[in-house]
Structure 1
Amino acid sequence: MITSKPEAPTALPPVKRRNAELVLVLLTIVIMMSAMAMAGLNLNNQVPGAMWGYGLIFGALALATHMALRFIAPYADPLILPCALFLNGIGVAMIWRLDAADSGDIEHAGIGMQLVWTAVGMVFCIALLFFLKEPRILQRYTYLSALTALVLIALPMIPGLGISEFGARRWIGIGPFTMQPSEFAKIALVIFLSSYLVTKRQVLSLAAKSIKVGRFKILDLPRARDFMPMVVGWVAAIGLLVITKDLGTSLLLFGTFLAMLYVATQRSSWVFIGLTMFIGAATAAMYIFWHFRQRVDIWFHAFDQEVYDRVGGSMQIVQGIVGMAYGGLFGTGFGGGQAHNIFAADSDFIFASLAEDLGLTGLLTILIVIFLLVQRGMRIALASRELFVKMLASGISFVMCFQVFVVLGGLTRIIPLTGMTTPFLAAGGSALMASWLMVGLLLRMSDNARKPAPQAIQDEGATQVIQR
């Protein structure tokens, strides 16, 4: 009996899932408006009229971005935009709630600029999707990206342009506006590292000798002549720390550098050597620079009365810790806490504000959404065909993940407080626009990775014609 060999199943093109995305986008709008309504009820026993104005503006921006995706990037990951909108919406609602509690007027509490920056960020996201059809084109600008990152980091050092606040010099002033160039520098640096490490990954993967304990190999040491990228990255990170006194950005950029170096080479020795060099330099900086020494003193002795009462002391971090503890498991309710009394409650300490109002349960929900966004970025890296795109997607994901770690680590005293902002949640235009640019890159890369091959699209179209 002759039997025919069963045919291999035909791979169908992936579904676009834009309708599922639309449902999630609508849900994020409802959550944002519900948070504002709850805050108004807790603050003044009434639903604020601002909920409708701000909610409808945010909703219109969200739906416009969703509609743009239907035409510009129809195969993009359907979870990325809703995750970003959820975080952005919660941030807008919390900033409004803090301003309303601080001013005592829920009808005239202002978040206008945060919505403006949200709109600008979404426009940047859509423009990037429209003009950047192939992310691998960015690989051509390896050293231009590095130069752009260095220029952006150095801008606050220019006399008359740079602004020094809270012991760090990381802002520039342009008329009535201030901007933090390092937020955009990290994107340029990730592009540079992605291109450079893809080109040099084979050389960097070579090992000179192995360190063994008995018969077990512990560590592969790289060749001495291949140390130059590590030295340059280390010098750049420590130079940033010394010149701008910005520990957070220095730690974020160097951590991203090490993570991407490990992804490119699969050599744990690079991570070990890099961490050793950074910790050694940071320890030396603690004894040389008073600002860094003060941060470490606050870290170790936050609850000492002398440190608490000192100007620029530990009052802020102690109030944040007490607020998070007061929130407990389920929080005081949106608008029910006293987070508005904490300095920078809407920016550096917005996680503490959220923890007090929403409790551990609400904070964990927000963290799950953040790390879902990071996971989708890693998934894009795995699905992409080009090595450069893999490195770029993983680099952006690392930046988002490390940024949250640096913020939460400072709030919980795992590491010294650094003053870094949380992606999408914190007040401020630079961080929000940079976050939306990173989301735009992820959406473009996911669309290209999930999009079926041209032949599959033609076959699908022919099938539809026959069925008709």
Structure 2
Amino acid sequence: MSGFRHPPPQARSGGRVPRNAELLLCVGALGLTAFAYLAMTTGIGGGFDGRAVRALGVFAVFVLVTHLAVRRWAAAADPVLLPCVVLLNGLGLVIIDRLDRAEAAIAANSGAAVPSSDAAHQLVWTGLGFALFIAVLVVVRDHTRPANYGYTCGLAGVVALLIPALLPSRFSEVNGGKSWILLSGFSIQPGEFAKVLLIIFVAAFLVANRELFTSAGQRVLGMTFPRLRDLAPLLLVTFVAVLVLVYEKNLGFSLLVFGTVLAMMYIATGRATWLFIGLAMFSVGAIIAYQLFDHVRVRVEVWRDPLATYYTTGYQISQALFGMGTGGIVGTGIGSGRPQDVPFAKTDFIISTIGEEMGLIGLAGVLVLFLILTVRGFSAAMTTRDAFGKLLGGGLSFSIGWQLFVVVGGVTKLIPLTGLTTPFMSYGGSSLLANYMILALLMRISHDARSAPPPPPRPAAPIADAMTQHVSRKLLPRRGQ
């Protein structure tokens, strides 16, 4: 742990050693992405075509520019975070391109018009994500600065969630969920950005009121509960966020927000009381939602037995399970399976595509990448000395790991489907931009923690103030006695 708390001289003097390691890892990530492209084009019966070469070249330029920006504005940051995201994003581009080609082949065989390339759109969003990443590093020079705008971020996050709920359905509804802003040729999901804003608000609020949560309050059954007036702002924002998301039929995002806030409460106080309170609130809310909302009951019934409704609501999860079962341990090979038979394979079910064509080994590798990203994010949070940085970094890191758990749990039928997408991999610009914001904040926290000078040694206490101890001993007999 001392290596994290007291950064090495290279990290404090410019970070050339961490950045060289980052560059080497990014080159390795690009190499693996190129190999995946080659495997994909070979699997569908072609070679390493110009389309794949152009996409890989543009992606490599994005990565190089971003690496140079990190050298300039976050030279001491963790060298592992960016390469993990580069590989995840690169694999996502390969899989989306593979599904595009399958859709184009189906359209050509049926005589229909070939749809536009989602992989090309995703590559554009990737460039915008890297640009936003750099912008956050440039603007947020100190990771504690967002704490000054905590309540503003909370209000902005709630407003971002309210906008789709207030808009007419033709401007906000997609596949039965009102969580979008739809304009001519443009769509955005503001809830993805609200997630980041709400995490900043919760971190700032908990830091400002930490003593109230740990000491003040009433004791009931041996547990200390804070006063309602102290807890009111946090409860209000969380309740409104979850209520709006339930109204918009975006239950996955409600679960993501609720779980992240609960985890941050535990990180801030260290009290297991909050876990019991949260689980009790979740249980009550789940029962109420099941009784009130038809779409919740449908998802629970599909989770219990998807084959019972195979030709209707259970088709998606059934096809995903069949595909992953076909993939087995090593997979069918990228380009050799039939993941296009799963609806929304590019978004909600990109994990099932990985499981089918890359097998259990490939899926485990992707999960390990997310595990490394989450753990290194927590490490960055722990190494910083201020409470806001610890809470912000912990909340952001937990949100990535928690979202992945919810997604994989839904696809593998461990829990009911929620509609969340896989960070950095699924098709969608809003999710990609928001997650690159999270990555930039984690890099800023890591840089500030590693580049900070070590704490000064404690001055020696004056002899008059030093702790003393009276030692008694038996008198020795005099010589001659």
Give TM-score scaled by structure 1 length. 0.89
* Counterpart residue identity of residue 296, structure 1: V
Equivalent residue for 1:209, pick from 202, 214, 219 = 219
Q: Give the SS at the match of 2:49.
A: coil
User: C-alpha displacement at 1:86, in angstroms?
Assistant: 0.7
User: C-alpha displacement at 1:201, in angstroms?
Assistant: 1.2
- The corresponding residue for 1:147 is 155
CA distance in 1: counterparts of 2:283 and 2:295, whole angstroms: 17
Q: Give the SS at the match of 1:40.
A: helix
Q: Are 1:194 and 1:392, in contact at CA under 8 Å, matched by a contact in 2?
A: yes
Equivalent residue for 1:158, pick from 158, 162, 166 = 166
CA distance in 2: counterparts of 1:163 and 1:389, whole angstroms: 35
Q: Give the SS at the match of 2:306.
A: coil
Q: Give the SS at the match of 2:179.
A: strand
- The corresponding residue for 1:216 is none
Moved more, 256-265 or 413-422: 413-422
* Counterpart residue identity of residue 149, structure 1: G
* Counterpart residue identity of residue 13, structure 1: P
1:198-251 CA distance string (max 9 Å, x none): 011111113633536xxxxxx555556555356435523541343111110000
Equivalent residue for 1:268, pick from 266, 272, 276 = 272
Matches within 5 A, 1:374-389: 374-389=374-389
C-alpha spacing 1:241/1:434, structure 2 compared with 1 (3 Å): closer
Q: Are 2:161 and 2:245, in contact at CA under 8 Å, matched by a contact in 1?
A: no
- The corresponding residue for 2:290 is 286
* Counterpart residue identity of residue 214, structure 2: S
User: C-alpha displacement at 1:26, in angstroms?
Assistant: 0.8
Q: Give the SS at the match of 1:178.
A: strand
- The corresponding residue for 2:478 is none
Equivalent residue for 1:197, pick from 194, 203, 206 = 206
* Counterpart residue identity of residue 99, structure 2: L
1:135 aligns with 2:139: no
1:415-467 CA distance string (max 9 Å, x none): 210111110000010000111111111111111111143999xxxxxxxxxxx
1:13 aligns with 2:23: no
1:298 aligns with 2:302: yes
Q: Are 2:165 and 2:178, in contact at CA under 8 Å, matched by a contact in 1?
A: yes
1:55-85 CA distance string (max 9 Å, x none): 1000010011001111111111100110110
* Counterpart residue identity of residue 302, structure 2: I
CA distance in 1: counterparts of 2:341 and 2:318, whole angstroms: 12
User: C-alpha displacement at 1:335, in angstroms?
Assistant: 1.1
User: C-alpha displacement at 1:102, in angstroms?
Assistant: 2.1
CA distance in 2: counterparts of 1:238 and 1:191, whole angstroms: 17
Q: Are 1:222 and 1:269, in contact at CA under 8 Å, matched by a contact in 2?
A: no
CA distance in 1: counterparts of 2:87 and 2:63, whole angstroms: 10
Q: Give the SS at the match of 1:111.
A: helix
1:161-193 CA distance string (max 9 Å, x none): 742122211111132111111100000000000
**What stretches of structure 2 of length at least 5 have no aligned partner?**
1-5, 109-113, 457-481
CA distance in 1: counterparts of 2:8 and 2:382, whole angstroms: 20
CA distance in 2: counterparts of 1:12 and 1:169, whole angstroms: 50
Moved more, 48-57 or 426-435: 48-57
Q: Are 1:14 and 1:450, in contact at CA under 8 Å, matched by a contact in 2?
A: no
Q: Give the SS at the match of 1:26.
A: helix
User: C-alpha displacement at 1:386, in angstroms?
Assistant: 1.3
CA distance in 1: counterparts of 2:154 and 2:103, whole angstroms: 42
CA distance in 2: counterparts of 1:379 and 1:83, whole angstroms: 15
Equivalent residue for 2:180, pick from 162, 171, 189 = 171
- The corresponding residue for 2:98 is 97
Moved more, 265-274 or 154-163: 154-163
C-alpha spacing 1:110/1:412, structure 2 compared with 1 (3 Å): closer
Q: Are 1:148 and 1:188, in contact at CA under 8 Å, matched by a contact in 2?
A: yes
Q: Give the SS at the match of 1:173.
A: strand
C-alpha spacing 1:37/1:273, structure 2 compared with 1 (3 Å): same
Q: Are 1:162 and 1:170, in contact at CA under 8 Å, matched by a contact in 2?
A: no
* Counterpart residue identity of residue 303, structure 1: L
CA distance in 1: counterparts of 2:90 and 2:270, whole angstroms: 38
* Counterpart residue identity of residue 59, structure 1: A
1:124 aligns with 2:132: yes
* Counterpart residue identity of residue 26, structure 2: V
Q: Are 1:234 and 1:277, in contact at CA under 8 Å, matched by a contact in 2?
A: no
1:63 aligns with 2:61: no
User: C-alpha displacement at 1:29, in angstroms?
Assistant: 1.1
* Counterpart residue identity of residue 330, structure 1: V
1:76-127 CA distance string (max 9 Å, x none): 1100110110100000011001111221289x96511101000000000001
CA distance in 1: counterparts of 2:25 and 2:152, whole angstroms: 38
Q: Are 1:18 and 1:78, in contact at CA under 8 Å, matched by a contact in 2?
A: yes
Higher Cα Rg, which structure:
2
C-alpha spacing 1:249/1:110, structure 2 compared with 1 (3 Å): closer
Q: Are 1:220 and 1:267, in contact at CA under 8 Å, matched by a contact in 2?
A: no
Instruction: Name the Cα RMSD after superposition.
Output: 2.2
C-alpha spacing 1:424/1:275, structure 2 compared with 1 (3 Å): same
Matches within 5 A, 1:339-418: 339-418=339-418
Q: Are 2:242 and 2:257, in contact at CA under 8 Å, matched by a contact in 1?
A: no
- The corresponding residue for 2:119 is 111
- The corresponding residue for 2:328 is 328
Matches within 5 A, 1:415-434: 415-434=415-434
Give TM-score scaled by structure 2 length. 0.86
- The corresponding residue for 1:72 is 73
Q: Give the SS at the match of 1:309.
A: coil
Equivalent residue for 1:181, pick from 187, 190, 212 = 190
Q: Give the SS at the match of 2:180.
A: strand
C-alpha spacing 1:56/1:158, structure 2 compared with 1 (3 Å): same
- The corresponding residue for 1:243 is 247
* Counterpart residue identity of residue 376, structure 2: R
Q: Are 2:334 and 2:357, in contact at CA under 8 Å, matched by a contact in 1?
A: yes
Q: Give the SS at the match of 1:27.
A: helix
